[in-house]
């Protein structure tokens, strides 16, 4: 049976890494909804400076922002108005703006609509913040993936270092904590663990252990 698997959780919990590996094992499509919010934030930053971004500006711009997400040969590609921006989605300026962009109803409506269309035939693993609670409430398996904020900041730190970026661990920790707060406290579709979701605290788990655990649940 072609299942729908929803993975939600805070920043750096391992959602995209684990979701991609689970999707590859099951030969499912992986849908990175965070990348879609990041793409909107990236485009907004092309139109104006970070200091000048207001909710009104974002709302007025959203109709002209065309986000396309594709997943081909186990690789996610994100295009905005025809431009491939996949490699630019994790830059600090986007990290800082994305939660504000994601708190706006018109942005969410547009992206959620696209996300549901992409999942309509099943055989998908989708990760984000509101997948179980809002985007795909009938998902066959719902996972709430988390880890301590220290561990999540460490993971991001290692990842950035490996990619050659010099970032301060403390700055990453502050950024992650601020984004968690904004995502959990916003009015529209906040990050929550739904009652029917399985909680997986991965603080002391490696990637393979998490993947195996989810695969065993998906097979039942």
Q: What does the radius of gyration of the chain's CA atoms come to, in whole angstroms? A: 17
Which of positions 7-26 make contact with ligand CDP (CB under 6 A)? 9, 11-17
- Return the ∠ at Cα 176 (arms to 150 and 124), rounded to 5°: 100
Q: Least distance (Å) from ligand CDP to the CB of residue 4?
A: 15
Q: Is 137 annotated as a binding residue?
A: no
159, burial (CB in 10 Å: exposed 0-12, middle 13-18, buried 19+): middle
Question: Which listed residue (28, 30, 37, 144) binds ligand CDP by CB under 6 A?
Answer: 37
| Segment lying near ligand CDP (by CB under 6 A), choices 47-55, 57-65, 123-131, 163-171 | 123-131
Question: Which listed residue (102, 124, 125, 197) binds ligand CDP by CB under 6 A?
Answer: 102
Question: 75: which strand partners?
Answer: 72
In a 3-state reduction of DSSP, which class is residue 132?
helix
Instruction: Report the distance separating Cα 146 and Cα 15, nearest Å.
Output: 9
Please report whether residue 31 would count as binding ligand CDP according to CB under 6 A.
no
CA 122 → CA 1, 76, 89, 115, 211, distances in Å? Answer: 9, 18, 26, 12, 19
| Segment lying near ligand CDP (by CB under 6 A), choices 30-38, 60-68, 79-87, 117-125 | 30-38
Please report whether residue 130 would count as binding ligand CDP according to CB under 6 A.
yes
Instruction: Report the distance separating Cα 107 and Cα 101, nearest Å.
Output: 7
Please report whether residue 128 would count as binding ligand CDP according to CB under 6 A.
yes
Q: Residues annotated as binding site for ATP?
A: 9-17
Residues in contact with ligand CDP by the rule CB under 6 A: 9, 11-17, 33-35, 37-38, 98-99, 102, 128-131, 155-156, 159, 179, 183, 202, 205-207, 210
């Amino acid at each position: 049976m072609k299942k729908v698997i929803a993975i939600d959780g805070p920043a750096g919990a391992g959602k995209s890494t684990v979701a991609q590996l689970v999707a590859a094992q099951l030969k499912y499509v992986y849908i990175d909804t965070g990348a879609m919010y990041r793409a909107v934030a990236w485009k907004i930053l092309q139109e104006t400076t970070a200091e000048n971004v207001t909710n009104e500006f974002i709302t007025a711009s959203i109709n002209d922002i065309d986000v396309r997400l594709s997943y081909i040969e186990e690789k996610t590609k994100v295009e905005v108005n025809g431009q491939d921006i996949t490699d630019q989605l994790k830059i600090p300026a986007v990290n800082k703006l994305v939660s504000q962009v994601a708190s706006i109803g018109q942005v969410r409506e547009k992206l959620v609509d696209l996300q549901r269309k992409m999942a309509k035939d099943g055989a998908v693993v989708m990760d984000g913040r509101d997948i179980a609670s809002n985007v795909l409430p009938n998902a066959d398996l719902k996972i709430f993936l988390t880890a301590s904020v220290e561990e999540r900041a460490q993971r991001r730190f290692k990842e950035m270092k490996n990619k050659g970026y010099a970032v301060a661990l403390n700055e990453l920790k502050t950024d992650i904590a601020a984004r968690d707060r904004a995502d959990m406290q916003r009015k529209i579709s906040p990050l929550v663990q739904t009652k029917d979701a399985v909680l997986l605290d991965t603080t002391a788990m490696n990637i393979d252990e998490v993947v195996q655990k989810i695969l065993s649940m998906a097979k039942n």
